[in-house]
Chain A
Amino acid sequence: MSADLLTLLGAWSIATLRSATPLIFTTLGETFTQRTGIINLGVEGEMLVGACVGFAVGVATGNPWLGLLAGALAGAALSCLHTALVLGANANQIGSGLAVWMIALGTTSYFGRVLVGNQVTPLPDLGSPLTDGLPFLSVFFGQMTMSVPLAVAAVVFAAWWLANTRSGIQWQAVGDSARISSENGIRPGIVRFKAILLGGLLSGFGGAILSVDYTQTWAQDMTKGRGLISVGLVIVARWKPALVLPICIMFGLAEVAVLRAQTAGWTISPHLMATAPYLVVLLILIVSHAMARRDADMPADLRSVFA
């Protein structure tokens, strides 16, 4: 294979992975939440807050890691609103998620105004003398930051944790039936609280990676529905953490293809191209619903929310 082709392949691979990374964290978080029987459309808002706070802290401290941490915590803090509404006041889950989103949209566009145009110190890339000059690898690692391996590790850990630990099995059980869980001595409210919190933490982290690591800018409503997309991707991944990785990478690939097509000088309107991510998600949702036996893998308690 020629060196050019390898370089191109490396560029595509890393671009795909980097575009998928914020989504991997968010989708993973939402997978956890939904596995316990709670749907949280507020992830869109949690991502936004994560992106905004993460970027602000990144700018202020000059330390991208602190930014990511702050973004994650902000997402987790916001998710407590969903907990309060859904578990505290027994409110409709979908309505509550939308309320969380609206509040986050408003607050971030207000507090985010001062951030527009700021520069953030990016995460260092993982290129090293070892890979320099090698075909494929030099591009691949030269453009990779720690966020990518972290995302992969998170998926692997999540899949292991859910299947092989006491708490993981408990979380699955709560999603299957809160009533039966409490008959077995599990406290479903607490488990769901933890799951929403973890979902918020991961969504906030995903949002912060979007602003601090991937785009390195802040813009109003910059997530543009990525959180909602991740809710759709959870369904496509059949609520399985292990499938989050390939599904998100598939999505990242579509996004990268659109970007590359634009720079390659295609004459299609950039706005039309920008619809691709949403249409891709819809398409894979349709395909997965048409193919999968209906709702077979869905946590049983979610059915009452979805129906």
Chain B
Amino acid sequence: MMPKAIACFENVSRRFGDLVAVNDANLELFQGDVTAILGENGAGKSTLMKLLYGVYPPSNGRILIDGEPSAITGPADAMSNGVGMVFQNFSLFPALTVRENLLLAWPKTPFWASERNKGTSEVLANLTRLAPHINPHSKVANLSVGEQQLVELCKVLNISARIVILDEPTSVLTPAEARHLHGFIRQIAGEGVSVVFITHKLVDVEACADKIAIMRQGKIVDVSIRGQRSMSEIVTLMMGSDVKRTMSPPALPKKPVERLFLNKICADAPGMSLKNISLSVASGEVVGLAGVAGNGQALLAEVIAGIHPVTSGDVVLDGQNLVRRNQMETLATPLGYIPEQPRENAVVESMTLAQNLSLRTLASGGIDVNSDVQALLTRFHVNPPEKDRQASTLSGGNLQKLVSAREFGSPRAAILACYPTMGLDLSAIQTIYLEMFAQAEAGAAVLWISEDLDDLIAGAHRIAIIREGQVVAVKINDGSLTRDKLGALMTGMNLDELVA
């Protein structure tokens, strides 16, 4: 007899304005199963699970729990119904301690929550079992990403969840940490929990999924049992067509000429400081900068782009200084610079697309927008390509394309790109990489910050590793680099330790 599903989606849809994020989805979750939900960015995976968790109600259809229509109207309800979710960007409070974070998500927390109250000791039980090395009194902001994820898992275990939803849990982990997580997922599934694993990485699916649901453009296009389909079939289903990621970085010039120099950069920001970062990029060279998120990449990018002042050191491009010494200094960056999170860091939402493409002109005292904006919108597939539309109305992916259009649209002496393909679909990713490599081909020095090790290995000439605000290694990408090697450098453990 078929076991009964713990949770069941029946023709569930969810719309946000004109956007259909989830379209007529049907899915069943079973006890002890690990269900992987696989799909590209923006396929609707997270939204589908947020419906179960009660973050939003479905626009159509219904969700059953234990055969009854779900009464979950919010995360609080979800937690008391035994549904736990670990969000992609975590739901931890960085300013609070580990213990306080655990207390906040624990239904049994008594009014008097001080440690002197014996009733609260139980909240730390899972933490001591799972991660005895984490001090419950340290602030979450001071934990590594991997440690933060363990705290998140403890939160979910503390509510004795029957359904555990993990949203892209491996995107912030090094390969070794990810393997650790896979093992842990198998373990809790073995204890009878139904685990939902949202991911876009096939490695995750291979490692621990029992059932694979593939989403594309809001629809669940396929559900299969482990082993039923080949990996290439799965990729095809996920992408919609048989596209291969091709990466063809330009050949390195015979005699590389150093062009962009980072010289002993030191800088301070709340919670992060850079120590003596030196690196040089030659004309035509693509240097990747790999690191676990939160190790100083964002600060380094802002220093190189002249936004955040340095305490010492300098950045020189073709003999020109690029850094600010203090907050009152003024400096326009000559770099083609793509910051992370375009909405927050790279566009003026209250201005039109044309104006956003012409910000360099406008900021230097020009009055009219550039003449080639329409061509740029088309070339970078910004949708809709209406130059007088306000930037705030664009989706995140299209904003990313808009910024790429501005920064890659004309020849630059150097490129600084932070996660330039974040949130894009496959064809857009191809465009971005092509444009970036074309800049290198034309002689630009390219510094490319990413956490996608596969892409870095496929596309960079050299890869530098940043950890805790320092560049700890610079490796020539001569074919000998592997995900595991880079991962080991990123976490600072040696390879043997990790494999063991």
Contact = CB atoms under 8 A, between A and B. Distances in A.
Contact of B270 (A182, A184, A294): A294
A165 B111 contact: yes
Given A166-B109, A169-B103, A293-B270, A184 B75 contact: yes
A177 B92 CA distance: 9
A187 B76 contact: yes
B91 A169 contact: no
A163 B113 CA distance: 9
A295 B269 CA distance: 11
A186 B91 contact: no
A4 interface: no
Contact of A184 (B104, B110, B111, B114): B104
A173 B100 CA distance: 9
Interface residues of B, number: 27
Contact of A164 (B85, B96, B114): B114
A180 interface: yes
A147 interface: no
Contacts of B112: 164-166
A158 to B, nearest CB: 15
Interface string B104-134: 1100011111100000000000000000000
Contacts of B74: 182, 185, 187
Contacts of B103: 166, 169
Nearest to A164: B114
Contacts of A294: 270
A180 B79 contact: no
B94 interface: yes
B93 A185 contact: no
A187 B75 CA distance: 10
Which of B91, B100, B105, B111 is packed against the most chain A CB atoms within 10 Å?
Answer: B91
B419 interface: no
B105 A184 contact: yes
Given A164-B114, A183-B75, A173 B93 contact: yes
Contacts of B270: 293-296
A215 interface: no
Interface residues of A, number: 26
Nearest to A294: B270
B188 interface: no
A108 interface: no
Contacts of B77: 185
A169 B109 CA distance: 11
Contacts of B87: 183
Contacts of B75: 182-185
A248 to B, nearest CB: 24
A185 B95 contact: no
A284 to B, nearest CB: 22
B55 interface: yes
Contact of B96 (A166, A176, A187): A176
Contact of B91 (A180, A295, A300): A180
Contacts of B76: 185-187
A293 B273 CA distance: 13
B140 to A, nearest CB: 10
Given A169-B100, A177-B93, A294-B270, A185 B111 contact: no
Contact of A183 (B55, B95, B109, B114): B55
Given A186-B104, A187-B76, A296-B270, A169 B95 contact: no
Which of A168, A183, A186 is packed against the most chain B CB atoms within 10 Å?
Answer: A183
Nearest to B105: A184
A186 B112 CA distance: 17
Contacts of A183: 55, 75, 85, 87, 91
A167 interface: yes
A181 B110 CA distance: 18
B93 A176 contact: yes
Nearest to B95: A176
Nearest to B80: A185
Contact of B111 (A167, A181, A296): A167
A170 B85 CA distance: 19
B169 to A, nearest CB: 15
A203 interface: no
A172 interface: yes
Nearest to B55: A183
A168 B93 CA distance: 14
A293 B75 CA distance: 35
A55 to B, nearest CB: 36
Interface in A172-209: 172-173, 176-177, 180-187
Given A182-B75, A183-B87, A166 B93 contact: no
B94 A170 contact: no
Interface in A280-307: 293-296, 299-300
B96 A180 contact: no
Contacts of A168: 113
Contacts of B55: 183
B95 A170 contact: no
B100 A176 contact: no
Given A173-B96, A184-B75, A166 B105 contact: no
Nearest to A299: B95
A3 B436 CA distance: 83
B92 A169 contact: no
Contacts of A163: 114
Contacts of B92: 180
Nearest to A297: B95
A283 B305 CA distance: 35
15 contacts: A165-B112, A166-B112, A167-B111, A168-B113, A170-B104, A172-B93, A172-B96, A172-B100, A180-B92, A183-B85, A184-B75, A185-B78, A293-B270, A294-B270, A300-B94
Given A169-B96, A184-B104, 11 more contacts: A163-B114, A165-B112, A166-B110, A169-B103, A169-B104, A172-B100, A173-B96, A176-B94, A182-B75, A183-B85, A186-B76
Q: Report, nearest first, the 4 A-B pairs whose CB atoms are least far apart.
A: A185-B76, A183-B91, A164-B114, A176-B93
Interface of A: 163-170, 172-173, 176-177, 180-187, 293-296, 299-300
